[in-house]
Structure 1
Amino acid sequence: MSRLPKATSLAVLVAVAAVTLQALLVPLFAGPAANLEPRDLPLAVAGPAPAADQLAARLAAAHPGAFDVRVVADADAAIRNRDVYGAIVLGPQGPSLHVASAAGPAVASLLTQATAALGEGRPVPVVDVVPSDADDPRGAGFGSGFLPLAMTSLLAGVLIFLVVKRRGDRLLALGTFAVLAGLCGAAVQQYWLSVLPGDYLSNAAVMGLFGLAVAGTVAGLAAVLDRAGLALGALTVFLVGNALSGVSSAAELLPQPWGAVGQYLPIGAGSTLLRSVAYFDGNGAGTAIWVLCAYAIGGLLLVAFGRRGLAGPAAEVAPAPAEREPALAG
């Protein structure tokens, strides 16, 4: 009977903790999604110098803080290099909008709406310089396909820590998972679902690096902090990272500084890297590569030197305790 109040208190505490977590997660996911708008979104203007400069100044004044407007000589090159998301090109027939739906269909749609007034009553022609895959014109397959990669990588990190008990075996398991996850993930998205273009081995390398970054980080944190590390890894890498990743939109459309923060977490960096490699010949991939490599190497180092959850040599070879000899009478 004395344990009942304690058990009851624990039950109430668990319920309160779950509701508190729910209250935090709902705005974490719904908040950014409900407040998508351009925030210093890179946008180019190309055309004759006086007119281009005037239009750039006009856009900056009409949409303060929304666009990072820059005048360029070659609009399409700036888009393909991932310097900008779109460009307004001034020509003899009037302005036209050049976009890259592969960089984010939501951004292309937003730019189309934002520049509609430039036609002065006539539709502004839209040129898709780098279109999304023909089998995934709205980019839904790309965004939806990235979530299972993150989930399975998180699960792999958890299972490797819980099931594999030696450092060397854990490192081998992480490496094997990364290689197979990359090869299998790229094959499914390219050859089965046909939602991803580009070179198969390059895409597989990106997915493998991403899988190693997530699984290695989770397993590494657990090797240092035990099960608390699993919780920290799941919270940081998956829950927060997914909400701030901008996979289905763009980092510049999320509330700041959270959009920028998301690009320094594995899911945000992974999606940016995969877009760059699959659609833009690797342009704009530099920061994302370094971020994923940092997580992958850091996770492997934590696994190699962490002591939690390991089967120690002493425990493996320790003999059974000897029975005590009965004391001699007298």
Structure 2
Amino acid sequence: MKLAAEVRNAVSPRAALLVVGVLALQLLFIASYVGALHDPKPRDVPFGVVAPGAAADRAAGRLAELPGDPLDPRVLADPEEARRQIVDREIDGALIIDPRGTTDTLLVASGGGTVLANALNTITTEVEKPQRRTVRTVDVAPASARDFDGLSAFYLVVGWCVGGYLLASILAISAGSRPANPQRAVIRLVVLALSALLGGLGGAVIVGPVLGALPGSVAALWGLGALVVFSVGAVTLALQALTGIVGIGLAVLLIVIAGNPSAGGAFPAPMLPDFWRAIGPALPPGAGTWAARSIAYFKGNALSGAMQVLAVWAVLGAVLTLVMSAVRRRGDREDGGPVGADPS
């Protein structure tokens, strides 16, 4: 009986619920990462085919019938169009067929993911082999020699995301998870914005001038980093304002467990299972990774969609934080309690 009483005193019902929540996050982490990354296979990869006349349609039809549907081929007018669409991130590769010889040209972009570029090379080589043809690979947007497997953009964005939710979590732990009034909510958002500017600049300088891991504009990466940090931090603040300390766990669920494996870092989106491929572009890690690679390797093309996703998360998080602080202040007034009594 004494032991049972000690357990009840040592582990409150609230603590027990938090332990259960941590266990659930642990298992979800394993399920999400292993589920997304254990068996990567290209599926419906946007892929161009260039060939004269009816040969283009025949080649596209042959690629479309490959087992497992690894490619989503479409006929393009000429090699220049194929290069343009790759640089614009409309397609991930293209096969240019030379009817006068036995060597065709495969265009890839390892800056968008080395693993995917290698997979396209393997697929086309196997397709061409029975016809006694060979493939010459040309990298239209090559990854930096210091960017192993094209992962630096992903790791950069992960670092920014970690900074965002840790900043918001520290504000909650140090001064109450729910801001007592709108003024304090604004202060938290301002502190977060200033930290986001510093974090964005630091990350851009480290991967660019310091390590030489990513090419591209430092200023553009700085702006992206500031937006990633602020959007993740603002969402974390909003979740804490809604649910208290549990909001930190919800932020981990959203950003780390759901966002990171679906971001297209280790394996680009066309190599992920359908669920992770669908959610990745809508979450900050996926949008940030896409934008960082666009800045570094694709002349800033195809940025707008990813930046809009990050902006929506930032605005949604900030507005919810302010609204919940106003609701809490009004509730304190109606209860007759002193406004601002919370140490936050």
Q: Same fold (TM over 0.5)?
A: yes
**Helix, strand or coil: the match of 2:97?**
strand
1:72-113 alpha-carbon deviations (Å, 9 max, x no partner): 122111101101110001123332111000011010010011
Check the 8 A contact 2:112/2:150 in 1, yes or no.
no
Q: For residues 74 and 26 of structure 2, what CA distance do their matches in structure 1 show?
A: 42
Q: Which residue of 1 aligns with 2:94?
A: 87
The percent of aligned pairs where both chains have the same amino acid is 30
2:204 matched to which residue of 1?
A: 186
Kept in 1, the 8 Å contact 2:261–2:276? The answer is no
> CA–CA distance in 1 between the matches of 2:197 and 2:153?
20
Q: What CA RMSD, in Å, does the superposition of the two structures yield over aligned residues?
A: 2.7
Of structures 1 and 2, the one scoring higher in RCO (CA 8 A, sep 6+) is 2
1:107 partnered with 2:116: yes
Question: Residue 198 and residue 21 in structure 1: after superposition, are their counterparts in 2 closer, same or farther (change >3 A)?
Answer: closer
Match of 2:28 in 1: 24
**Alignment length (residue pairs):** 318
* Greater gyration radius: 1
In structure 2, the residue matched to 1:116 is: 125
| Aligned-partner Cα distance in 1 for 2:245–2:326 | 9
| Partner Cα distance (2:341, 2:74) in 1 | 68
- The unaligned stretches of length 5 or more in structure 2 are none
User: What is the match of residue 190 of structure 2?
Assistant: 172
User: 1:126-275 residue pairs with structure 2 within 5 A?
Assistant: 126-163=137-174, 166-275=184-293
Q: Secondary structure at the match of 2:274?
A: coil
Q: 1:62 to 1:170 in 2, by over 3 A?
A: same
Residue 299 in structure 1 maps to residue 310 in structure 2: no
Q: Check 1:51–1:205 CA distance in 2 against 1; reply closer, same or farther (3 A cut).
A: same
Aligned to 1:66: 70
Q: Residue 141 of structure 2: SS of its match in structure 1?
A: coil
Q: 1:17 to 1:315 in 2, by over 3 A?
A: closer
Post-superposition Cα deviations, 1:237-289, rounded to whole Å, max 9, x if no partner, equal 22211122121221111100321211111101110111112211222222211
C-alpha separation in 1, matches of 2:7 and 2:199 = 48
CA drift of 1:127 comes to 0.2
Are residues 13 and 178 of structure 1, via their aligned partners in 2, closer, same or farther at CA, if it must alter by over 3 Å? closer
TM-score (norm 1): 0.87
- Residues 192/270 of structure 1: CA separation in 2 closer, same or farther (3 Å cut): same
Asked if 2 retains the 8 angstrom alpha-carbon contact of 1:161 and 1:223, the reply is no
Larger mean CA deviation between 160-169 and 188-197 belongs to 160-169
Question: Could you tell me which residue of structure 2 aligns to residue 4 of structure 1?
Answer: 6
Q: Give yes or no for contact 1:226–1:309 (8 Å, CA) kept in 2.
A: no
Return the letter of the residue paired with 2:194: T
Gaps of 5+ in 1: 319-330
Contact 1:154/1:238 (CA < 8 Å) preserved in 2? no
Using the TM superposition, give the Cα deviation of residue 8 of structure 1 relative to its aligned residue in structure 2, in angstroms.
8.3
Q: Cα–Cα, structure 1 residues 121 and 8, in superposed 2: closer, same or farther, change >3 Å? A: farther
Q: For the structure 1 residues 107 and 278, does the alpha-carbon distance in structure 2 shift closer, same or farther, using more than 3 Å as the test? A: same
Shift of 1:146: 3.0
Change (3 A) 1:187 1:65: same
- The 2-side partners of 1:130 and 1:287 are apart by 20
Q: Are 1:197 and 1:279, in contact at CA under 8 Å, matched by a contact in 2?
A: yes
SS of the aligned residue for 2:106 comes to strand
Q: Tell me the SS of whatever aligns to 2:209.
A: helix
Q: Which amino acid aligns with 1:90?
A: I
How far off is 1:5 after superposition? 5.7
Alignment partner, residue 46 of structure 1: 50
Partners of 1:40 and 1:99 lie apart in 2 by 15
| 2:84 maps to amino acid | A
For 1:160 and 1:130, how far apart are their aligned partners in 2?
Answer: 41
- Tell me, in whole angstroms, the C-alpha distance in 2 between the residues paired with 1:219 and 1:40: 38
Could you tell which deviates more after superposition, 50-59 or 66-75? 66-75
Q: CA deviation at 1:143?
A: 3.1
